[in-house]
Amino acid sequence: MRCKLSAAVLAGLCAINAQAADLAAGKTKASACIGCHGANGIGLSDEFPNLAGQKAAYLARQLKAFRSGERRNPTMQAMAKNLSDTDIEQLSAWFASLSPKPGMTAEKPAAGDRAGVEEFPAPVFITMKKSGTVERFPAEIQWAGGPNMLYDAVTPDGTTLLATSPSSDSVYVFDTATGKQREIIDVGKAPKGIKVAPDGRLAYASNEGSAEISVIDLVSLKVIDSISVEEGPHNVRFTQDGKRAYVTLQGGAGIGVIDTRARKQIRVIPVPGITGPHNIDMSADEKTAYVRDFVHHVAVLDLDSGKVKRVIKVGNGHGGIDVSPDGRFIATAAIGADFISVIDPETYAVTNITVGQGPHGIRTSKDGRWLYVTVTGENRVAVIDTRSLQVIKQIPVGEFPFWVAVKDNP
């Protein structure tokens, strides 16, 4: 005897199937969010709110407010501007379905490798976001910094290190020989990236919250000018002659071009195909920029024509990007994944290397032999031998290692 299902039962089954489909679609789309809000909806640090267990209607309202510009945040506006109503409903349903109970947070590993002189031929400086410290390698000496130590940069002569503290709207200045704080400089709102000009006289701090670049004099250790840019400036890359600086505009406009003599933004280069330009590096001839976005892409940008030559898919979430000084490869991290990607500049072929959960900062030694990666989710620094593309060391560090500064590889 065949059993017939009533119309009410069929309708209920269809609704269940539709809900499951919506959640599956929302989970897929949420891969763009995990770089800040975590794979489980729990923010990766205090600056990112937890989304897990929030009411779906509330989340949908916030995403629509970011999309319309009613609620302003450069990163979220860039992320939301291309979302449809269906996208928003599916994302909201997915995060609402997650447990609001945080999982285990990463703690400093009890054991691991030690840094050696061979793989650290020159000093390397790593910021610890949650610890509020800076660690110098290979000595593995920690310096006390300020709240939320984020990006750092070392002067060409190697004597001075600068590190941003977005939660205090300031830049901390350290003597690299002693680790002593030389100055705390007030800059704009929420400074992120910090870069030193090739002549070592000035530094640019990208103030993401106030759409400006603070120009810091490295003799007086004071802000001497401010350069207005588009929304969400995140990081800067100077040309070798120091005449131009390229700034990633995470609000979505593209790449800002700054005339450093006039201290003025003179052009914005759109970068279609990516979401929220995040970090940038350039080829040795400075004709090509490699732009890492906030989701899972690297754009290959021809700086003369302003055209995107290729968009390459890499790991989920945002991360640093570095062109090795010898030009052999481009390496980029992915805070929402457990691997980094190494890109061949000729073929654009991608090789992924597992390093641990949450890689973000990434830099190559001057000779191109070693690649250093901050592994935020496991509180380690991974060291990769670029000849074999193998991880040869995992060094325990403080909490939430974030960025890497290497002398002679800005």
Dist. CA 93–CA 20, nearest whole Å = 10
Domains and CATH numbers, the chain: 7-97 (1.10.760.10), 124-406 (2.130.10.10)
Residue 254 dihedral angles phi and psi, to the nearest 5°: 135, -130
Model confidence at 10: pLDDT above 90? no
Type of residue numbered 350:
V
Locate 388 and state its tokens: 């074999």
At 83, list the tokens.
């979302």
Listed in order, strand segments (DSSP E) in 42-129 are 124-128
Q: Which of 103-117, 258-272, 302-316, 323-337 has the lowest mean pLDDT?
A: 103-117
Q: What's the average model confidence in pLDDT over 72-101? A: 80
Alpha carbons within 13 angstroms on the beta-carbon side of residue 332 total: 33
pLDDT (tens digit per residue) in 221-276? 999 999 999 999 999 999 999 999 999 999 999 999 999 999 999 999 999 999 99
What is the tens place of the pLDDT at every residue in 104-121? Answer: 455 556 578 898 999 999
pTM: 0.86
* Alpha carbon distance 268, 50 (integer Å): 34
Q: What confidence tens digit (pLDDT) does each residue in 17-63 have?
A: 555 557 888 776 776 686 678 768 887 666 678 888 888 888 888 88
Q: For 85, list phi and psi in degrees, rounded to 5.
A: -60, -35
> Is residue 127 scored above 50 in pLDDT?
yes
The pair of three-digit structure tokens given for residue 317, joined into one six-digit string: 């979430």
